[in-house]
Structure 1
């Protein structure tokens, strides 16, 4: 009986795959399938692993209550104006798994963790793979909502930590 060591087996398989590819007239190996697009899961999904940040965000960040200003102003706004508000005051509006309405997606009604860090489904499902979420933020990330036009119109300034970290 012949014993094949695991690395040797892998090398043999790699050679075989390369041989089959070249024999089929291909010059490049197949591209890796793109990971499925992450969707929004809501800040509550972040809490189990990021308890301190979630608690601080919930208690001190204005973003944690951002939908209240929309609800207060809604009767004075057009549908188009409301959609503009949803883009910054809710999580993932207009994106896969994002905010749809206060009744359909109440867990995404405020500007949560994923507004800054990106959709969290892949990160959460992986058990916290840091490469599947934006960890280090820059001012450019803030400027998605805190643009010069909005800062002037609403007199608010971007806060890199926004009470969450």
Structure 2
């Protein structure tokens, strides 16, 4: 099996509809996109867009989209976009392009209230490792041989 076929198979398995994260940050469920974070968190945003693979997680989904079923795509969206399946979250690349990657709000929660009031209490400041496991589950770690990285390039 060629390397590209192995990668395609892994992506299909990884993005299958069997794995839908059900993590909720609670509170406000309106997402604003990572660019809204840049206004106050310039350095973190610059590092995120430069170093974090999450900042470009839409690329692998777009690459595979034509070969996936709707259910498989939904599985991909649940981890590779921001807020998919949640109020105010990702709908499609056309309707909500600002949420089309796994942005700041995947770890820190929906940011509408925080971006308006700047109150540290209105956002998840320090995500727990448990919150990472919604996407970086044991099954996915075994399948793809990767580990969740706290501070994956942004901080």
TM-score range, shorter chain: 0.7 to 0.9
Cα distance between partner residues in 2 of 1:137 and 1:102: 26
* TM-score, normalising length: structure 1: 0.76
Cα distance between partner residues in 2 of 1:48 and 1:140: 28
The structure 2 residue matched to 1:116, chosen from 89, 107, 131, is: 107
Per the alignment, residue 53 of structure 1 pairs with 44
Deviation beyond 4 Å, 4+ runs, structure 1: none
* TM-score, normalising length: structure 2: 0.81
Higher RCO structure, 1 or 2 (CA under 8 Å, sep 6+): 2
CA RMSD in angstroms, aligned pairs only: 1.3
The structure 2 residue matched to 1:141, chosen from 131, 140, 149, is: 131
The structure 2 residue matched to 1:105, chosen from 84, 96, 114, is: 96
Cα distance between partner residues in 1 of 2:48 and 2:151: 9
Superposed, 1:52-91 pairs within 5 Å as 52-91=43-82
**Does the 8 Å CA contact 1:120/1:133 hold for their aligned counterparts?**
yes
Count of residues in correspondence between the two structures: 130
Name which one, 1 or 2, has greater alpha-carbon Rg: 1
Q: Please list every run of 5 or more consecutive structure 1 residues that lacks an aligned counterpart in the other structure.
A: 1-34
